[in-house]
Structure 1
């Protein structure tokens, strides 16, 4: 049975990802872009520990919107702050909302 190198537990019982989620300070903000369109920005997630492309895909599905990963942050089309906050809190992240 494979063992996690970080915590020493068997991989099916590994808690490393949950601990990483709790320790990161994720900031969710919204800003206006071209043509007065809103863009929701999710930043503060360490891309070395969490797969941002996969998380972005999950968020786009949960919010029913488009988006991308740029410069270590997730950008979603539209004002999605409340949906993103609810989704990430259910996944175990601690969230800070910011107005920009």
Structure 2
């Protein structure tokens, strides 16, 4: 049985990811790309505590759009700011620490 180095609990009972989700300050904003295409950027998620690749995959599947991970940021094609905030809250992130920008 593996034990988490941070909390000392077994890996299957580890609460480190849940605790880190509640303390991260996340910014959700849009960028304009070439040809006036909008992308939604989710910044501030700590890739050490949250599986950013898995989260990106869930978001792309939910919104049926393309996207990528660059420099610790998730970029989604299209404007999905409000929906991203609702979805992040449902995944356990703190509603008060998610900031929407235009």
Length-normalised TM-score, structure 2: 0.88
Distance 2:60 2:17 in 1: 21
Contact (CA 8 Å) 1:27, 1:97: kept in 2 or not? yes
Structure 1 Cα separation of the partners of residues 4 and 88 of structure 2 = 25
CA contact (8 A) 1:66 1:76 kept: yes
For this pair of structures, how many residues does the alignment match? Answer: 99
* 1:91 paired residue number: 91
Shift of 1:10: 2.4
| Unaligned stretches of 5+ residues in structure 2 | none
State the match for 1:32 in structure 2. 32
Name the structure 1 match of 2:44: 44
Q: Which residue of 1 aligns with 2:65?
A: 65
3-state DSSP class of the match of 2:100? strand
Which whole-Å CA distance do the structure 1 matches of 2:87 and 2:8 have between them? 29
Q: Is 1:13 aligned to 2:13, yes or no?
A: yes
CA contact (8 A) 2:16 2:49 kept: no
Q: How far has the Cα of 1:55 moved from its partner?
A: 1.2
Whole-angstrom distance in 2 between the partners of 1:71 and 1:9: 31
Partner Cα separation in structure 2 for residue 48 and residue 12 of structure 1? 17
User: What corresponds to 1:54 in structure 2?
Assistant: 54
2: CA distance, partners of 1:2 / 1:42: 32
Secondary structure of 2:101's counterpart equals strand
Q: Which structure carries more strand by proportion?
A: 1
